[in-house]
């Protein structure tokens, strides 16, 4: 017999505990093979559904949203970022949009620290030397990198993830600078130095870590002009969104030595990284795994389902962004 439970479209393979909760409370349309649906498949899957639970891999453009069935009430993202959703189009269609903030701050800050340390200490290059058995000797001049402890770090975007990253950086006795839309309260700032203009902060830091969302205003934020403001030999880290970085400008700065190294977990046009990064030993690359811990992925799914539960019950969801 047909179920009277609301239908939830789950676009990717989610953690077992999350899918179990979907199956318990809703009629779930799951993706057991974890394939990436194209637009036509996604639209067809939503027929008769009340909710869709997409990841950042699903591009819900204005064109796709316009064709979604009238039964759909909400797009409840399994992600904190929602730049993959045309929010204006969703609003125009009367769709609620939610995300999953807070729960991935620790995991993403950990990856940012890993990237900063890996880029500074030439981790990718060293790991390849050991695996290829090309490591033949040790000397005082061998594999010399950059120190992190006691250096100056600039944080772009002092939201939840940025604040956790700043706290981790203080564990390395780093002097924290930050640029944000507004200055934090002193108890949240914890001694960090605020710069109202990004251009004023860049010359003052040895490391730069990006933690702001991708928006029309932040697209290409780290461009050639801003890279040139960093002190020669600075190191760049990005765990936010690839759209924040002008790849051609960063690759050129890495090749010239203006930027000593970079640690990148996110890229324009994922999956994959631009070819210009691939031949550079000084770039430490990861495949968008900032939130990839078991605890965090479970928490993201439960947060998305909390939003679905609220909407299904006629309540305002906690994490509504549109």
pLDDT of residue 90: 98
Between CA 297 and CA 269 the distance in angstroms is 23
Q: What is the reported pLDDT for 95?
A: 98
Please report, in tens digits, the pLDDT of each residue of the chain (322 residues total).
457 899 999 999 999 999 999 999 999 999 999 999 999 999 999 999 999 999 999 999 999 999 999 999 999 999 999 999 999 999 999 999 999 999 999 999 999 999 999 999 999 999 999 999 999 999 999 999 999 999 999 999 999 999 999 999 999 999 999 999 999 999 999 999 999 999 999 999 999 999 999 999 999 999 999 999 999 999 999 999 999 999 999 999 999 999 999 999 999 999 999 999 999 999 999 999 999 999 999 999 999 999 999 999 999 999 999 9
pLDDT of residue 2: 59
- The pLDDT, as a whole number, for residue 51 is 98
pLDDT given for residue 272 in this prediction: 94
Catalytic residue numbers?
241, 270, 288
Q: Domains in the chain, ordered, with CATH?
A: 7-103+294-312 (3.40.50.720), 105-285 (3.40.50.720)
pTM of the model: 0.93
Instruction: Please name the residue ranges forming H helices in the chain.
Output: 16-25, 39-45, 62-67, 87-93, 105-120, 123-131, 160-170, 186-189, 198-201, 224-229, 247-256, 275-278, 294-312
pLDDT for the residue 244: 98
Look at residues 69, 60, 62, 48 and name the one whose alpha carbon lies nearest to residue 11.
Answer: 60
- The angle that helices 123-131 and 105-120 make with each other, rounded to 10 degrees, is 70
């Amino acid at each position: 017999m047909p179920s009277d439970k609301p239908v939830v479209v789950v676009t990717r393979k989610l953690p077992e505990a999350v899918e179990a909760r979907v199956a318990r409370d809703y009629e779930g349309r799951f993706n057991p093979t974890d394939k990436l649906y194209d637009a036509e498949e996604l639209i067809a899957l939503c027929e008769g559904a009340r909710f869709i639970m997409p990841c950042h891999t699903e591009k819900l453009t204005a064109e796709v949203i316009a064709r979604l069935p009238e039964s759909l009430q909400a797009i409840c993202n399994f992600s904190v970022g929602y730049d993959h959703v045309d929010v204006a189009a969703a609003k125009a269609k009367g769709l609620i949009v939610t995300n999953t903030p807070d729960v991935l701050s620790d995991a993403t800050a950990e990856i940012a620290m890993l990237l900063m340390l890996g880029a500074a200490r030439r981790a990718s290059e060293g790991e390849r030397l050991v695996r290829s058995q090309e490591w033949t000797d040790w000397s005082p001049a061998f594999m010399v990198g950059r120190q992190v402890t006691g250096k100056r770090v600039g944080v772009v975007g002092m939201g939840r993830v940025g604040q956790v990253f700043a706290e981790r950086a203080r564990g390395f006795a780093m002097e924290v600078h930050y640029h944000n839309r507004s200055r934090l309260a002193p108890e949240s700032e914890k001694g960090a130095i605020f710069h109202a203009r990004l251009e004023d902060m860049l010359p003052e830091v040895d490391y730069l870590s990006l933690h702001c969302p991708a928006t029309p205003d932040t697209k290409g934020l780290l461009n050639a002009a801003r890279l040139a403001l960093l002190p020669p030999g600075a190191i760049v880290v990005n765990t936010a969104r690839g759209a924040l970085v002008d790849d051609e400008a960063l690759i050129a700065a890495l090749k010239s030595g203006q930027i000593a190294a970079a640690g990148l977990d996110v890229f324009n046009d994922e999956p994959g990284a631009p070819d210009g990064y691939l031949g550079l030993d000084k770039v430490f690359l990861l495949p968008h795994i900032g939130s990839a811990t078991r605890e965090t992925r479970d928490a993201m799914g439960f947060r998305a389902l909390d939003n679905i539960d609220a909407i299904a019950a006629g309540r305002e969801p906690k994490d509504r962004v549109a």
